[in-house]
Structure 1
């Protein structure tokens, strides 16, 4: 399962985002990659250590709305066989 997290504040560094998500997801966070950090379109791709779709959905629901740098994150999950696409760009 892959988790995409967006609406990441521009002020957050790649390390801050990675540490936050690893802390929030615990052993479910297999790999965290942050893209476009420092921009308004920053997002993170998290490879989840879960094979069952409903587990990914529950994880996405838990992350969705969490505050990072005072901003509510948005999250969605996708199966392994789908290539992660960046989230919609902010205007």
Structure 2
């Protein structure tokens, strides 16, 4: 399973995002990759240690709305066989 997290504040560094998600997801986070850090379009791709789709959905629901630097995150899960799409770009 993959998790896409977006609405990441521009003020957060790549390491801030990675540390936050690793802490929040614990052993479910296999790998965290942050794209476009420091921009309004920053997002993270998290590879999850979960094979069952509903587990990814539950994890996404738990992350969705969590505050990072005072901003509510948005999250969505996608199965391994689907390439995760980046979230829509903000202007």
- Both structures adopt the same fold (TM-score exceeding 0.5): yes
User: Any gaps of 5 or more consecutive residues in structure 1?
Assistant: none
Q: Distance in 1 between matches of 2:8 and 2:30?
A: 20
RMSD: 0.5
1:78 and 2:78 matched: yes
User: Any gaps of 5 or more consecutive residues in structure 2?
Assistant: none
> How much does 1:84 deviate?
1.5
1:6 and 2:6 matched: yes
Equivalences for 1:20-59 in 2 at 5 Å? 20-59=20-59
> How much does 1:9 deviate?
0.2
Aligned residues: 91
Residue in 2 that maps onto 1:63 = 63
Q: Distance in 2 between matches of 1:56 and 1:2?
A: 7
